[in-house]
Amino acid sequence: MILTIDAGNTRTKWAVFDVANAVVASGTLFDAAPGSPPAEWALCSLAVVSNVAGDNVALKIKALLDTTGKAGESLKQIWVTSQPSGFGIRNAYETPHLLGSDRWAAMVGARQYCQQHCLVVNAGTALTIDVLQHEAATATHHFIGGAIVPGLQLMCQSLVQGTRNIAQAIGHSGRDIDFPRCTEDAIYSGALLAMAGAVEQMAGRLSRVTAAPVRCIIAGGDAALLADKLQGGTGIGDIVIIEDLVMRGLLVIGRDTESGSWMR
C-alpha cells in the first residue's frame, strides 16, 4: 500500500491507497501537534509527501514516518519537488523547482483524467489555476503557466480585517445570492464571483489559443461551490470535480517509484 500526504497551508491530509488504487483510509493531521501516526500507516511500503507548509511541519511529518515502518523502522519516503518534465508533462515555470509541489502533483493527477487542454484548479486556502496545453502528436501536456488568487475564506477574511466599517457590520456568515442586500452576503457572493471570474479569464485565454473549449478539473475544499459558479462560463467545456486530486497525483508518483521508473 502507498501512503500519500498533502501538507497544505491550512491542513495536513493523508490517504492510504491499496493495490487497486482505492482509498482504504484517510484523515487529517493537525500541523501544530500531529500526535502519533495513524495505525493504517504501518500497512504501507512507501510514503509520498507534498509539503508547502514549511520546515517545521516537514520535521513533524518526518518524525512520524521515521517510526511508522515495520518493526519501528523508517518508512521509505519520497518528498516531491516539481521537475522540469515528467509524467507526460513539460514544466515551463521559469524556475521549475519553485513551482509548489502540490500544484505539480495536482497536474500529474489531472493528466490521468484528461487528454485534452485543461485547467487544473485547486480551490483551497489559495485558489490556484494552472494551464495544461495538450499536444496530441506526442500525448504530452505543456504546463504553460498559472495564476494564484486568494481562496474563498482568505478573500472574505482580508476584507473583514482590512476595512473597519465592514468589520463592524458583520453579524452572520454570508450566503451566495444573485443580488446581495447585506454586507455579509455581498462579501461572500463577491468572493465567489471573483474566483469564478479568475478561472473564466484563464479558460478564455487558453481557448483563444487552442480554438477549443477547455476542460476544468477542480480540487480542494471549495471545489463544489466554485464548480456551481462556473457552469456555462466563457471558454469552459466540461467541469470535473476531483477533490483529492493532489493525492491522486502523489499516488501516480508513488506507483512510478514502485515500478523503478521514478522521474523518467
**Which sequence positions are flagged as catalytic?**
102
Residue written as cell 468589520?
167
The conformation of residue 38, written as its DSSP 8-state character, comes to: P
Contact residues for 159 (Cβ-Cβ < 8 A; gap 6+): 166, 187, 191
Long-range contacts of 79-84 (CB under 8 A, 24+ apart): 79/49, 79/51, 80/48, 80/49, 80/50, 80/104, 80/105, 80/250, 80/253, 83/263
Cα gap 128→106, rounded to integer Å: 10
Contact residues for 106 (Cβ-Cβ < 8 A; gap 6+): 120, 122, 128, 130, 219, 245, 246, 249
Torsions phi, psi of 190, nearest 5?
-65, -40
Question: Coil, strand or helix: which one is 150?
Answer: strand
